[in-house]
Amino acid sequence: MNNEVQVLYQDDRLLIAYKPYGVFSEFDAHKPNMPSLLKDKAGCDPVYPVHRLDRTTQGVMVYALSEDAARRLSAMIQQGKIEKTYLAVVEGVPEGSQGEYTDLLYFDRRKNKSYVVKRERKGVKQARLQYEVLQTIGHEGKQISLLRIRLLTGRTHQIRVQFASRKMPLVGDRRYGSHIPADHIQLCSARLSFTHPSTGEELSFTYEPTDEYFKRFNP
């Protein structure tokens, strides 16, 4: 498992970095956070967050290094022009080798937890993702599956709650019902692909997780 921030790409407008577990993706005055760590590691100031990754999730993120780049990247994210691919280990096996989930999610800020609900109301947002089952193996009398997931929307705890609501919580995710202990939730932002907002260059960056349960699957 990697506990160090890594800079994967940097120019005068944006920066791609690996965020470790336990680090906030946005600025926090009292806890380890990516803008502060990137300022120290890459000499960037200011660093503009344009999307979030849960503190309990690791993986690849993009940051803007200017206000103009922040506006452009934020617009691209809203328009779905930045492709986000995740790897996750879940308890159980989804139906079919690939599929798509669409749910209505409500995030309770007081409980810091998302819920799948049946009807639209204030605060409820649609959540969509696509998944592919890469491999399924046995673990202590149960089955666990390695999935590749493409987010089509970016809701709080989206991957975690959409699978947990189908009785397939992510391994190590006690908040959403996992019964398999792990040091961390087995979820990684494994790939970001997009067109550079200034140069038009096609960019793609990957990170291969090395956590305990990811390593159980064949490469």
Find the angle CA(170)-CA(113)-CA(159) to the nearest 5 degrees: 35
Residues 6+ apart with CB under 8 A from 205: 8, 9, 16, 60, 191, 192, 193
32-59: burial string, b at 16+ Cβ within 10 Å, e else: ebbbbbbeeebebeebbbbbebbbbbbb
Dihedral pair phi/psi, residue 65, rounded to 5°: -115, 5
Tokens of 65: 């290094």
DSSP strand E in 65-97: where? 83-91
Number of residues in the chain: 219
Which of the following is catalytic: 28, 40, 54, 173?
A: 54
**Is there a catalytic annotation at residue 54?**
yes
What amino acid positions are annotated as catalytic residues?
54
